[in-house]
Amino acid sequence: MIRVSGLRKAYGSLVAVDDVSFEIEPGETFGLLGPNGAGKTTTMLMLVGALRPDSGQIHINGAVDPTRADVRQQIGIAPQSLALYGELTGEENLAFFGQLYGLSGDALRRRVDQCLEFAGLADRRRHRVKTYSGGMQRRLNLACGLVHEPRVLLLDEPTVGVDPQSRSHLFDSIEQLKREGRTIIYTTHYMEEAQRLCNRVAIMDHGRILALDTVEELIRQHGGRSVVTAELERPPADPSSLPGKLEGTSLRFETHAPLEDVGRLAQTGLRFTTLHVDRADLESVFLTLTGRRLRD
């Protein structure tokens, strides 16, 4: 469905995207993660033809030029900066974007109605968008990218600044789109979103892809060890047999296989009053690969 090879974009001496390559299968949700300035949005803008790469190729469903009208028709985008007209109502915004993609008459009215229901905004359809909350605007922003029923959907930080209810609605909406077989490219700063929604994830920094794989494999390769902390009923006769440091009856150790190690300890007769496992996750992978230094 999508193949990107050797993509590069520079602004003078600043290389925003540097030799980026990846492939996305039909129906896949592909996460693009990175700190501020990593090159995510520049990559997205090249994918939709809003920016021309200095070098490299983008193939979308076999076509090599995303600026072609027939290719653009297959792509929807919900940009991080809201692409909405505040003086227009919700249904007027949807109708405007639908007309840009050639919809008219009954087909346009049907899609406007469907998208308002999808966004949970049917009861606010005739209200001006400037009166909407931030979460409502984010939901409408997504709906506008879907009005022409694209096969490929690009979501650039779709949940920035929204309330928990709107975020939950957006998650449910994206999972519905996944079930429908849409191909989705998803950029976010929220690691739990990518871990929940994405089949595979690419982590970018300084314009380059540092790692690309399933979430589970990225955690296995780069997440580091899990930390087990436990309170014991009583210390063992030989504390040196334990896999970590014992202070009184408090045990703490790091491991790549926490469940197996805890099981082996239990088989020796050791009894726990409390047990807690902090497992590696996508956030630990992200910080391992991109560092902990602040990016302002």
Supply the DSSP string of 10-70, one letter for each residue.
Answer: EETTEEEEEEEEEEE-TT-EEEEE-STTSSHHHHHHHHTTSS--SEEEEEETTBS-TTSHH
- Within 13 Å, how many C-alpha atoms sit on residue 192's CB side? 4
Whether residues 35 and 171 share a domain: the answer is: yes
Look up tokens 């449910």; give the residue. Answer: 172
* Long-range pairs, 260-264, Cβ under 8 A, ≥24: 261/228, 262/228, 262/230
Mean pLDDT over residues 269-274, rounded? 93
Residue range 34-45: mean pLDDT, rounded: 91
Q: Which helix (H) or strand (E) holds 254?
A: strand 250-255
Domain span including residue 253: 225-279
- Please indicate, yes or no, if residue 291 is contained in any of the structural domains: no
Tell me: pLDDT of 13 over 70: yes
Pair 93, 85: CB distance under 8 Å? yes
Q: What percent of the chain has pLDDT over 90?
A: 75
Q: Flag whether 287 is in a domain.
A: no
294 has pLDDT over 70: no
pTM: 0.83
> 209 and 129: one domain?
yes
Distance CA(44)–CA(66), nearest Å, equals: 11
**Best CA proximity match to 7, nearest among 81, 50, 58:** 58
Tell me the average pLDDT across 246-254. Answer: 93
Query: Is residue 63 domain-resident?
Result: yes
Whether 153 and 176 share a structural domain = yes
Do 241 and 175 reside in the same domain of the chain? Answer: no
CATH number, position 19: 3.40.50.300
Please say if the pLDDT value at position 247 is more than 80.
Answer: yes
Domain final position from 204, 220, 236: 220
Residue 280: the pLDDT is 83
Q: Which letter, b or e, does each residue of 121-135 get, where b requires 16 or more Cβ atoms within 10 Å of its Cβ?
A: beebbeeebeebeeb
20 lies in a domain? yes
- Examine residue 239 and state whether it is found in any structural domain, yes or no: yes
Is residue 151 located within the same domain as residue 234?
no
Contact 151, 185 (CB under 8 A): no
**Residue 240: alpha-carbon gap to chain centroid:** 44
Please give the mean pLDDT across all residues of the chain.
92
- Say which range, 52-56, 109-113, 254-258, has the weakest mean pLDDT: 254-258
- Name the percent of the chain in helix, strand, coil, to the closest 5: 35, 30, 35
Q: Are residues 13 and 42 in the same domain?
A: yes
Whether 289 maps to a domain, the answer reads no
Residues 199 and 97 reside in one and the same domain:
yes
Asked whether residue 181 is domain-assigned, the answer is yes
- Mean per-residue pLDDT, 116-130: 97
Residue 27 shares a structural domain with residue 107: yes
Residues 87 and 201 in one domain: yes
Does 112 lie in the same domain as 7? Answer: yes
- How many distinct structural domains can be found in the chain? 2
pLDDT for residue 147 is more than 80: yes
Q: Of 77, 2, 87, 13, which is closest to residue 44 (Cα–Cα)?
A: 77
195 plus 260 within the same structural domain? no
Same domain, 231 and 213: no
Tokens 């892809």 belong to 209
> Is residue 198 assigned to a domain?
yes
Range ranked top by mean pLDDT from 101-115, 177-191, 252-266, 281-295: 101-115
